[in-house]
Amino acid sequence: MSRLYVGTSGFAYPAWSPRFYPAGTRGDALLSTYAERLNAVELNNTFYQQPRPERVAAWLAGTRPDFRFVVKAQRGGSLRAFGSSAVETVAWLTGPYRLFDGRLGAVLFRVPDNVRRDDDRLGTLLNTWPVDLPLVLEFQHPSWQDDAVFDRLRSHGASLCATDLDARDPPDLRLTGRVVYLRLRRTAYTNDDLAVWADRLSAFLDSGTDCYVFFRHDADGTSAVRALKMQAMLSA
């Protein structure tokens, strides 16, 4: 049976009180309260530094067993891994992620917009990446949007990230790996916008595919409220 995982990019935002968090929620209570309402999170801080074992243990202890963490691959390490240093760097990069064990939803590997398509670099990463760690690739330069790239991901079981930045040009949802992965990054979404995305996602859920959906961080928790709405739409 397929599962829907919905959340936001990060959770440690006391300013989301009282729109999303109850008034006064702070510190370690932020994650546990978040996990009572949403069932997944994209960890922002792992993009800037590798997670320490004690921090991972606290995250796991503060959430229920069916809650999932998506780790954003550390910025410097991911750049080194996307090149000639892949063999040396991937083991260092992924080592801490194994501490999440079955609670790891995916590793989000972001390829920045100044990196154009390079099939050799992509092939080296995919050939080096551990097959037991679910990998999602977000390509920010448009040159990567090509069927040959999608086929390469599919052959390695890696998932393509769809990133929604502009209402005039919404991304396709493509199943290349284990899951469908969608990042909703616009600053505003109407209920009708959410309903359109819910309808598109439901086709994958109905076919037995797990889907991950994450809204961007914002100042006051409106994005988290939107995540709740999306969750309700697809759970009805």
CATH at residue 9: 3.20.20.410
Q: What are 178-231's pLDDT values in tens digits?
A: 999 999 999 999 999 999 999 999 999 999 999 999 999 999 999 999 999 999
Mean pLDDT, rounded, of the chain: 95
Q: What is residue 110's predicted lDDT score, i.e. its pLDDT?
A: 95
Q: What is residue 151's predicted lDDT score, i.e. its pLDDT?
A: 98
Closest CA to 96 of 76, 71, 129, 78: 71
Q: Per the structure, how many domains does the chain have?
A: 1
Band (pLDDT 50/70/90 cuts) for residue 129 is very high
Local structure of residue 166 (DSSP, 8 states): -
pLDDT more than 70, % of the chain: 100
Q: What is the model's pTM? A: 0.96
pLDDT above 80 for 84: no
Q: Which residue range is the domain that position 92 belongs to?
A: 4-235
* pLDDT (average), residues 92-114: 95
Q: Answer yes or no: are the C-beta atoms of 48 and 74 closer than 8 Å.
A: yes
